[in-house]
Amino acid sequence: MVQPASYYFMAKTKYSFIYATAIILPLFFVIGLIIMVPVIGIKAFAFSKTIAMIVGFIISMVGISELINPVKIIRNWAIPIIVFLILAIAIQPKLLSIVFPMMTKSTLDLILIITISSFLVIVSLSMIFLSQKRFRLKLKEIIKNKKKWSEFLN
């Protein structure tokens, strides 16, 4: 949402939103670092960046609210994403403690953890897309067209 919104701000010369983004986002990032680095160390960079991204998202939503209805976008995507986050927070640590009973560092363990994380991402994206009717219809259309192509090739 942030990148398309910035294009919209430039095209419509909405300088107030461009200036707000240019000033507020780095400010939130730096203030977050100053506050959190003494407490949580290097993790503060990730948290500060996340906070800055959320603030950028809010600025973008306010800026494009006259063009589109942001509530509709949030309603369509928020529920599946929240469900995924809850499942990921609840399932992934338990799954990893079962798969890795002892903490060792090896290439095989790294490949395994990347595979497990990738599987969770694929399952969550499937849940998000299949929870919406328009994506299910599009998937049916793609499968139908694939059958046509396979008949054409044979």
Verify that 102 and 40 share a domain, yes or no: no
Which of 22, 43, 68 marks a domain boundary? Answer: 68
Of 76, 78, 58, 79, the residue nearest 5 (C-alpha): 58
d(C-alpha 112, C-alpha 104), whole Å = 12
pLDDT score of 34: 93
How far is residue 151 from each of residues 12, 137, 144, 154, measured CA to CA in Å?
Answer: 49, 21, 11, 5
Verify that 148 and 82 share a domain, yes or no: yes
Verify that 84 and 57 share a domain, yes or no: no
pLDDT score of 153: 52
pLDDT score of 151: 56
Contacts of 51 (CB under 8 A, 6+ apart): 28, 29, 32
pLDDT score of 30: 93
Verify that 77 and 136 share a domain, yes or no: yes
pTM confidence score: 0.56
Verify that 103 and 115 share a domain, yes or no: yes
Domain count along the chain? 2
Verify that 139 and 115 share a domain, yes or no: yes
d(C-alpha 78, C-alpha 83), whole Å = 9
Which two structure tokens, joined as six digits, stand for 95?
A: 């799954």
List per-residue pLDDT tens for the chain, 154 residues long: 666 777 677 777 777 878 888 888 899 999 999 999 999 888 889 999 989 988 888 888 887 777 777 777 777 777 777 777 787 788 777 777 777 777 677 788 788 888 888 887 788 777 777 777 777 788 788 777 766 655 545 5
Verify that 4 and 19 share a domain, yes or no: yes
pLDDT score of 98: 77
Q: What range does the domain containing 133 cover?
A: 69-154
pLDDT score of 147: 62
Verify that 76 and 55 share a domain, yes or no: no
